[in-house]
C-alpha cells in the first residue's frame, strides 16, 4: 500500500511516523513544499527573542532522520498543485527544477496547514512587513533585525502569535506597539479577564492600540507610516498576525468538500468526503468538543492527535477524534494566560444558559515564599452543571490548574466535581484547598443557594436611592485607597457589632477585595435574616475592568 501525505510539520509528520509503527511494509511518501518537514512552529517567536539560541533546535526531524529511523520518503521543495481523486493521483511540482509529475496513491492524507491571512491593504508588499508561519519567515525577521537594526515594530493583531511576537520583539530591543481591531487582545479571553493582561503588558513597555486596525501602509526613507482606521503610526517594521486560513488551493475541483471558509470537511475518523482521502491539522473543520458544532481551531496538539487517528484508520484500527476544546496557554514575559472551552461570547452564541464564577487564589501556600495570585473564571451550564469553559490569568501554576479543569471537562465532569478532586499538596506547590478546589466550592455555594452573586457589569445599575444597601466589607485602609460609589464601609471583622447600621427588609449587595470576605459577610447577614448578594471577583476584578474601560488608546 502506498500512502501519500501532503505536508509535514505536526499533522503530516505524526501521521507518517504512526503509520510506519503500524505497518513496516507500507510505502510512505511525504510531499513538503518547504525545506523543513518537521519543525517547532510554536517555538519560532522565542528564537527571534533569543530564548531559543540555536536555529537547529527548531528542527525536530529532517528528511534524513525520517528516512533512517522510519523509512519514510520525504521530498522537500515539492508542491502539490492539483488533486485527481478519480485517478488517485496528485500533480507535484518540483520547485527547484520547475518540472511537474503525477504521483499516485492508494491512500492520501492532506496536511497542507494554513497560511497567514494577508488582508487587502495597500503596502503589504513592503520588505519591512513580515508574517510568521515557518522557519524561513523566522530567519527573515531575525536577519532584518540584525542587519537593519530597526528601533520600532508594530504587531498588527493581538492573538496568540501576535502577543508572543510582541514580547519577543521587545526582548530583541524594539519599541513595540500592538494594534488590535477588537477591544481586547487574546480572543479566547473575555474582556474582564483580558483587563489584567492589558495592564501587565503595558507595564512591560508594550503599547496597546485597541479597537483599531491597519488600513494602509506607506514607505519612505524614514520607515513605514501606518494609516489606521483612527489615526496614524510610524514604525520601522510590521509583523502581520491577523489570523490564518487553510492552504488548499490545490484541491479545487477534486470533489473534496470544503466549507465556505475553505476548511476541509472530515468525519470523526479524519476521512474527507472522497474515499481513501484523509485530512488533518490546520486545514480541517473539527467538531467543537463543547458545542458539538463544526469549527476551525488550528492548534498543534490536536493536529498531532488527528495525524495519529488518520494513521490508525488507514491501518485498519478503528480510532475516533472526539473534538477540539481549544485548550491553550500563552507565556507573556512572566505572566501565563490559559484558556479552554467557551468564553461568554461563544457560550451565548451557542445558546447555553450558563452561570460563572470568579476566584482569586494563590499559586502555593500563602505562607511559603514565592506565592503569586491567579485570577480564574469558569463558565458552567445551569442545568447540567457541566463545565463549558475556563480562563486563568496569573504567573506560577496557571498551566497545571488549567490542565486539571480541561481534563475534567474532557471527561464530562461538572463544576462541582472540582470541589472533590484530590490534588497534590505541599506548601511549595499549592494549598490544601487548591485553586481548582476553590472553584468547585464557590460554584457549589451558588448552585445550592448558599450564595447569590452579582457581577462587575451589574454595579453601575444598582439603585442608589436607598432601596438597597450597598456594603463594602474591606478594611478602612483598603476603602480609602479606592471605593465604589454609593457603598458604605463596614469591615468584616466589625460587622456583627454594627448590624444596626444595616436596615432590615432591604437587599444587601456586598463586596470585598476578592469575594471571599464578602461571602463570609453574606453568611453572617443571612444568619440574621438579611437577603444578601455577593460581588463575584470583588473590588479587584471590578477595578481592573473599569480602569481598562476608561483607558484611552488615542494615538
The gap from C-alpha 241 to its chain's centroid, in whole angstroms, comes to 14
Distance separating alpha carbons of residues 297 and 511, to the nearest angstrom: 38
Among 366, 353, 356, CA closest to 397: 366
Backbone angles phi, psi at 145, to 5 degrees: -65, -40
Among 178, 197, 284, CA closest to 239: 178
531 CB contacts (<8 Å, ≥6 apart)? 507, 508
What single-letter DSSP state applies at residue 263? P
The gap from C-alpha 96 to its chain's centroid, in whole angstroms, comes to 38
The gap from C-alpha 418 to its chain's centroid, in whole angstroms, comes to 22
What single-letter DSSP state applies at residue 373? E
Q: Which of 15, 42, 263, 512 is catalytic?
A: 42
Distance separating alpha carbons of residues 391 and 515, to the nearest angstrom: 18
Active-site annotation holds for 42: yes
Q: SS3 of 405, please?
A: helix
Distance separating alpha carbons of residues 245 and 129, to the nearest angstrom: 19
Distance separating alpha carbons of residues 134 and 112, to the nearest angstrom: 13
Positive or negative torsion for Cα 13, 15, 19, 25: negative
Distance separating alpha carbons of residues 25 and 2, to the nearest angstrom: 9
Q: Which residue has the cell 508561519?
A: 133
313 CB contacts (<8 Å, ≥6 apart)? 269, 270, 271, 278, 319
Give the residue numbers marked as catalytic. Answer: 42
Amino acid at each position: 500500500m502506498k500512502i501519500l501525505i501532503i505536508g509535514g510539520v505536526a499533522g503530516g509528520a505524526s501521521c507518517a511516523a504512526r503509520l510506519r509503527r503500524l505497518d513496516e511494509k507500507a510505502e510512505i511518501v511525504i510531499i513538503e513544499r518547504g525545506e523543513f518537514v518537521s519543525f517547532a512552529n510554536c517555538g519560532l517567536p522565542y528564537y527571534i527573542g533569543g530564548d531559543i539560541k540555536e536555529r537547529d533546535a527548531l528542527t525536530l526531524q529532517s528528511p534524513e532522520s525520517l528516512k533512517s529511523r522510519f523509512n519514510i520518503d520525504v521530498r522537500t521543495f515539492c508542491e502539490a498543485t492539483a488533486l485527481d481523486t478519480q485517478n488517485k493521483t496528485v500533480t507535484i511540482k518540483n520547485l527547484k527544477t520547475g518540472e511537474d509529475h503525477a504521483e499516485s496513491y492508494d491512500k492520501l492524507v492532506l496536511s497542507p496547514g494554513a497560511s497567514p491571512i494577508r488582508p487587502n491593504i495597500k503596502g503589504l508588499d513592503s520588505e519591512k512587513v513580515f508574517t510568521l508561519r515557518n522557519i524561513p519567515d523566522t530567519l527573515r525577521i531575525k536577519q532584518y533585525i540584525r542587519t537593519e537594526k530597526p528601533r520600532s515594530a508594530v504587531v498588527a493583531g493581538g492573538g496568540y502569535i501576535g502577543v508572543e511576537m510582541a514580547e519577543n520583539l521587545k526582548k530583541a530591543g524594539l519599541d513595540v506597539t500592538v494594534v488590535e481591531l477588537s477591544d481586547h487582545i487574546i480572543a479566547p479571553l473575555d474582556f474582564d479577564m483580558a483587563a489584567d493582561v492589558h495592564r501587565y503588558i503595558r507595564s512591560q513597555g508594550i503599547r496597546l492600540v485597541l479597537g483599531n486596525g491597519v488600513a494602509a501602509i506607506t514607505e519612505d526613507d524614514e520607515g513605514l507610516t501606518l494609516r489606521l482606521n483612527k489615526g496614524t503610526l510610524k514604525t520601522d517594521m510590521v509583523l502581520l498576525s491577523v489570523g490564518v486560513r487553510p492552504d488548499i488551493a490545490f484541491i479545487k475541483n477534486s470533489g473534496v468538500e470544503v466549507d465556505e471558509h475553505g476548511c476541509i470537511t472530515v468525519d470523526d475518523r479524519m476521512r474527507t468526503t472522497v474515499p481513501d482521502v484523509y485530512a488533518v491539522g490546520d486545514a480541517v473543520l473539527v467538531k467543537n468538543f463543547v458545542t458539538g458544532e463544526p469549527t476551525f481551531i488550528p492548534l498543534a496538539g490536536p493536529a498531532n492527535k488527528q495525524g495519529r487517528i488518520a494513521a490508525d484508520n488507514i491501518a485498519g484500527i478503528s480510532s475516533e477524534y472526539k473534538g477540539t476544546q481549544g485548550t491553550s496557554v500563552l507565556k507573556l514575559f512572566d505572566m501565563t494566560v490559559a484558556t479552554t472551552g467557551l468564553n461568554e461570547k461563544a457560550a451565548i452564541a451557542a445558546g447555553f444558559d450558563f452561570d460563572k464564577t470568579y476566584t482569586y487564589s494563590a499559586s502555593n501556600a500563602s505562607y511559603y515564599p514565592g506565592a503569586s495570585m491567579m485570577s480564574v473564571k469558569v463558565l458552567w451550564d445551569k442545568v447540567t452543571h457541566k463545565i463549558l469553559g475556563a480562563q486563568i490569568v496569573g504567573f506560577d501554576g496557571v498551566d497545571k490548574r488549567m490542565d486539571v479543569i480541561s481534563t475534567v471537562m474532557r471527561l464530562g465532569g461538572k463544576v462541582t466535581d472540582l470541589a472533590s478532586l484530590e490534588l497534590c499538596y505541599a506548601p511549595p506547590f499549592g494549598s490544601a484547598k487548591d485553586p481548582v478546589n476553590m472553584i468547585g466550592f464557590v460554584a457549589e455555594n451558588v448552585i445550592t443557594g448558599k450564595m447569590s452573586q452579582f457581577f462587575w457589569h451589574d454595579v453601575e445599575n444598582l439603585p442608589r436611592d436607598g432601596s438597597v444597601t450597598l456594603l463594602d466589607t474591606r478594611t478602612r485602609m483598603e476603602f480609602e485607597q479606592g471605593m465604589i460609589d454609593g457603598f458604605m464601609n463596614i469591615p468584616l471583622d466589625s460587622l456583627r457589632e454594627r448590624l444596626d447600621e444595616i436596615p432590615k427588609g432591604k437587599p444587601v449587595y456586598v463586596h470585598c477585595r476578592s469575594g471571599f470576605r464578602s461571602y463570609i459577610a453574606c453568611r453572617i447577614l443571612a444568619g440574621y435574616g438579611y437577603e444578601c448578594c455577593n460581588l463575584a471577583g470583588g473590588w479587584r476584578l471590578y477595578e481592573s475592568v473599569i480602569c481598562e474601560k476608561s483607558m484611552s488608546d488615542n494615538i
